[in-house]
């Protein structure tokens, strides 16, 4: 055999390659057979690769649909399918378009992934880099990410949070009046209107008066295009007139507006203006860092000079991180409260008590911090219906998750937050809404490892205190000045997944003004 092989090699080597090709009879080749053979080999490789990656964790025995896996299911995600995955085992898997996905469902495994920057880094879909821009800070890793976050910490201090509240209250007043007008003829779905108020609150908090009402309305109307473009399963290439194309155009438009606002903030602070928004606070931090460095060359204040473009990209990530989650939380918060007259009564009593009986006392940080029961309602809502149910990461290297299983390099590793927040060992009767479980020193407060609403580890949410203050102030003021009636439907408690989770009927409500905010007259739940 070796002699024959050597003889063949010598013979072919002695022939000019072009002559060898010209003598080969391509007419004998069946291109259909070549294609089918290649396809079969690719399918076998895809299945074998899946089996090797899957190991001993839960998941389909084989990829029922070659290559695409459960892609079609992912186009219309069902909460029940996610739950089935979580219940199938501590670790489970799927494979879509040859992307292997490991789902970590227990509290401890979720925390392990969230706290392992050596092995994983946050990831979004392939087009996210193009939509958010490659230079965006969210794509930083390791020390670069830690240092950048330190530069942003000053935007969420107690002093900064208090600065934002007057702007936020103006938005509350404007939209609560709008909600009354919108539902004057009866209950309507409020899903889109809650997305708009949350967008408006965020934009005024971030940009203050540098952003116009028309710009806020435009961003609120179009933001869903960005959400759709960044769905977990999506086409990875930006093609004109597709979801990703519209999402990219919208993101570029929003960041252009933010760049202009950043320039105005710098000019405002330079001229001695008062800081009232995040951009103002950021510019003041840069001024302070510059002064400290001049007075003390050894100063370790990590705020450097940020360009308008960098500020716009970072502010966009704040909007990206908050918009869908806050919209979902608003839907559930209003629906849950409206369905429970006893909760309404307790909130109303507390709102009057902290204001000394005067409903017109404006919101302040001190005032909101006195709203103990209202805060417990917000916290229980975030536990009961957590807006973010999972966070995708990508494995930078092989990730040891258990003694017997490691997620392969390049796979997606997704810690799930929902099961930890519905763990009966941490929260008695977890499927019931019980604000009182959050009384200081209670069992729920003790279960700190289960409180994963805002994540944990190096990427824990910067704005968690901001979120609690915002929703406590908003729902408190809403209950004090308005009747909120919820029209219950068979879909009210069914969960729809669209980046976050929402009621399937889009939260059907009716708002009407109280004749006297100091009087809690009858509230009828439909």
Q: Report d(CA 226, CA 119) in Å as an integer.
A: 29
Distance, C-alpha 494 to centroid of its chain: 20
DSSP class of residue 408?
P
Q: Report d(CA 477, CA 371) in Å as an integer.
A: 11
Sign of the C-alpha dihedral computed for residues 103, 106, 109 and 113 taken in this order: positive
The dihedrals phi and psi of 498, each to the nearest 5 degrees, come to -145, 85
Query: Cβ distance 111 to 456 under 8 Å?
Result: yes
Helix, coil or strand: residue 70: coil
The torsion defined by the Cα of 297, 303, 305 and 311, in degrees rounded to 10, comes to: 180
Place of tokens 């003004």: 513
Q: Report d(CA 360, CA 101) in Å as an integer.
A: 52
Element (H, E) at 94: strand 91-96
Query: Cβ distance 525 to 486 under 8 Å?
Result: yes
Beta bridge pairs of residue 95: 100
Q: Report d(CA 345, CA 373) in Å as an integer.
A: 11
Beta strands 412-415 and 99-104, pairing class:
parallel
- Rounded to a whole number of angstroms, the distance between the first and last alpha carbons of the chain is 87
Cα within 13 Å of Cα(365), Cβ side: 12
Place of tokens 């072919």: 12
Beta strands 500-503 and 406-407, pairing class:
unpaired
174 token code pair: 């404007």
461 is in an annotated binding site: yes
Q: Report d(CA 324, CA 375) in Å as an integer.
A: 21
The dihedrals phi and psi of 378, each to the nearest 5 degrees, come to -65, -45
Candidates 477, 453, 467, 473; CA nearest to 382 is: 453
Query: Cβ distance 271 to 220 under 8 Å?
Result: no
Q: Report d(CA 264, CA 279) in Å as an integer.
A: 9
Q: Report d(CA 20, CA 15) in Å as an integer.
A: 6
Helix axes 213-229, 243-270, angle to 10 degrees: 140
Residues marked as binding? 461
Sequence ranges of the binding site for heme:
461
């Amino acid at each position: 055999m070796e002699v024959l092989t050597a003889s063949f090699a010598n013979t072919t080597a002695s022939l000019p390659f072009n002559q060898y090709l010209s003598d080969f009879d391509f007419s004998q080749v069946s291109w259909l057979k070549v294609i089918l053979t290649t396809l079969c080999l690719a399918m076998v490789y895809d299945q074998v690769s899946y089996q090797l990656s899957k190991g001993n964790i839960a998941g389909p025995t084989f990829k029922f649909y070659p290559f695409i896996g459960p892609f079609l299911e992912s186009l219309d995600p069902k909460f029940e399918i996610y739950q089935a995955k979580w219940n199938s085992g501590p670790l489970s898997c799927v494979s879509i378009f040859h992307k292997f996905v490991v789902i970590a469902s227990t509290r401890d495994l979720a925390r392990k992934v969230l706290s392992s920057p050596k092995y994983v880094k946050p990831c979004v879909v392939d087009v996210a880099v193009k939509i958010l821009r490659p230079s965006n800070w969210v794509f930083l890793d390791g020390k670069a990410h830690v240092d950048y976050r330190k530069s942003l910490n000053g935007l969420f201090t107690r002093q900064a949070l208090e600065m934002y509240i007057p702007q936020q209250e103006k938005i509350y007043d404007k939209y609560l009046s709008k909600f009354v007008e919108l539902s004057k003829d009866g209950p309507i779905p409020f899903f889109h209107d809650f997305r708009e108020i949350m967008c408006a609150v965020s934009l005024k908090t971030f940009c203050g008066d540098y952003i116009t009402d028309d710009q806020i309305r435009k961003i609120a109307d179009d933001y869903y295009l960005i959400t759709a473009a960044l769905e977990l399963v999506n086409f990875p290439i930006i093609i004109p007139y597709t979801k990703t194309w519209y999402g990219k155009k919208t993101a570029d438009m929003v960041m252009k507006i933010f760049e202009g606002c950043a320039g105005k903030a710098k000019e405002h602070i330079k001229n001695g203006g008062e800081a009232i928004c995040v951009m103002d606070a950021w510019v003041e931090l840069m001024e302070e860092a510059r002064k400290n460095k001049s007075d003390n060359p050894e100063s370790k204040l990590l705020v450097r000079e940020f360009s308008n473009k960098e500020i716009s990209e970072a502010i966009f990530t704040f909007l990206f991180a908050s918009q869908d989650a806050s919209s979902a939380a608003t839907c559930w918060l209003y629906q849950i409260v409206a369905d429970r007259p006893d909760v309404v009564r307790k909130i109303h009593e507390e709102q009057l008590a902290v204001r000394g009986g005067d409903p017109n006392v404006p919101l302040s940080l001190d005032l909101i911090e006195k709203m103990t029961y209202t805060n417990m309602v917000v916290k229980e809502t975030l536990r009961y219906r957590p807006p973010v149910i999972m966070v995708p990461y990508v494995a930078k290297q092989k990730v040891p998750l258990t003694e017997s299983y490691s997620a392969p390099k390049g796979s997606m590793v997704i810690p799930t937050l929902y099961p930890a927040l519905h763990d009966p060992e941490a929260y008695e009767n977890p499927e019931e809404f019980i604000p009182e479980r959050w009384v200081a020193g209670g069992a729920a407060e003790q279960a700190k490892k289960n409180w994963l609403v805002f994540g944990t580890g190096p990427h824990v949410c910067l704005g968690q205190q901001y979120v609690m203050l915002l929703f406590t102030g908003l729902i408190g003021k809403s209950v004090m000045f308005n009747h909120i009636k919820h029209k219950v439907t068979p879909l009210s408690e069914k969960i729809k997944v669209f980046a976050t989770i929402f009621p399937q009927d889009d939260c059907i409500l009716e708002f009407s003004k109280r004749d006297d905010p100091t009087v809690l007259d009858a509230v009828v739940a439909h």
